[in-house]
Amino acid sequence: MRISLLLIDASLRGSCIGLTHTLRHWFSSPISSVDDYSKRAQNHEALLKCLKQVHDIIQQAARLRSGSARTNVVNLCRQAVKNNDKGALLKAIAYGGQGVSSVM
């Protein structure tokens, strides 16, 4: 991003030396940084996809209940996700907050 701004700046100023210097630097930069960025972007997209699926499952579990049971399911699931506790998340979804504290 910074290099593209330097290219635009050099071309607007009419500086051929600055433009060629920036282009040389750009083409000599390692490709691995681009690969690392694409890996991070793919991992981020996969994480978001999984989090959306977990969110949908929690919403479905909450819709099956009403009142305080619905609130308990959502709160217990949030707490389990925050603590990265998969077992507690599954129990909160399955049991709906009724007797979950004794099961956990």
- When pLDDT is cut at 50, 70 and 90, the band that residue 36 belongs to is confident
Give the contacts of 28 (CB within 8 A, at least 6 positions apart): none
Per-residue model confidence (pLDDT) at position 96: 76
Question: Which carries the bigger pLDDT value, residue 17 or residue 30?
Answer: 30
Band (59; pLDDT cuts 50, 70, 90): very high
Per-residue pLDDT tens digits for 82-100: 999 999 999 999 987 665 4
- Sorted by where each begins, the domain ranges of the chain are 48-103
**Residue 11 pLDDT:** 59
Cα distance from N-terminal residue to C-terminal residue, the chain: 49
61 with 45: CB under 8 angstroms? no
